[in-house]
Amino acid sequence: MSVKIFTCLDDPSDIVRVSCVSHSWRDFVIANGLAKHLCLRMFPQLSRVDRVVEPASMAESLVAVGSWI
């Protein structure tokens, strides 16, 4: 039932707000791919994207930032 309700949301900021309510709601949003489904609904051309390749320097900087947390 919750998935049906949350998939009716049209604004990405609503999905962000839902995921900020609690850890369990955040996990629910992630586990059900609600942000991804909304993104694909808003930008259907993204469904043809096979993969995303990040530059090595960007990946290294993300790892460095993640290690501080």
* Cα distance between residue 69 and residue 21, in whole Å: 21
Read off the amino acid at residue 11: D
* Residue whose pair of structure tokens reads 């009716």 in the numeric block: 8
Q: Is this model's pTM higher than 0.85 or not? A: no
* Residue whose pair of structure tokens reads 């489904």 in the numeric block: 37
- pLDDT attached to residue 21: 92
- Distance, C-alpha 29 to centroid of its chain: 8
* Cα distance between residue 61 and residue 19, in whole Å: 26
Map out the domains of the chain as residue ranges: 2-68
Tens-place pLDDT, residues 11-65: 888 888 988 999 999 999 889 888 888 888 888 888 887 777 777 655 555 555 5
